[in-house]
Amino acid sequence: MAVTPPTNRVWWNEPVEKMELVWVVIAFLWGLVMFATMIVWHIVGQQNLSTETYRIKPEAYVAKVEAMAEKFKVREEGSTGIPVVKPSAGSDVYLLGRLWDWWPILELEKGQSYRLHLSSADWQHGFSLQPVNLNIQVHPGYDHIITLTPTETGAFGIVCNEFCGIGHHQMTGKIYVVERR
């Protein structure tokens, strides 16, 4: 470690110690391997979302979510009164992030594709579908669209993974996936 400047001001012309050169080469090669891995994973990893994003006024998006919930409501969830909606296969499905929940609860059919729209009414939120490991940042004023085809049945939890305020730890939602009838 150098506390004082080198005696020879032209330090880059000094010979490099063999072990230091070995570590520089190892670090460079590891960087190339990691760069190539990112490219390969992008192509064959099948975890990259093809998303569309459009600008939308938060009020207009809230209206679309409420209209969908009213049209496709099948029941209410427990004592919370959150509607569970079951839209038709292949349709546009809207999910709203707002302080501090994901609304409404969706019931989708296994093997059917849906265009899932995500937006926020108020702050930036994170959409993390567990245990699928699907993560998206959701911003107010933007409609994020994902093509989603559930491959397993069950209840999937949605958590907010972007700090959004005092109730962030309680910001959850659900997606139920059922067998096609």
173 in Cβ contact with 128 (< 8 Å): no
Q: Are residues 60 and 112 in the same domain?
A: yes
| Model confidence, pTM | 0.74
What is the span of the domain harbouring residue 15?
A: 11-44
Do both 20 and 101 map to the same domain? no
| CATH assignment at residue 115 | 2.60.40.420
Is 107 found in the same domain as 26? no
pLDDT of the chain, 181 residues: tens digit per residue: 567 776 777 777 778 889 999 999 999 999 999 999 988 887 887 666 666 899 999 999 999 999 999 999 999 987 778 999 999 998 999 999 998 899 999 999 999 999 999 999 999 999 999 888 788 899 999 999 998 899 999 999 999 999 988 989 999 999 999 998 7
66/121 same-domain check: yes
Q: Which runs of consecutive H residues, i.e. helices, occur in 45-168? A: 58-72
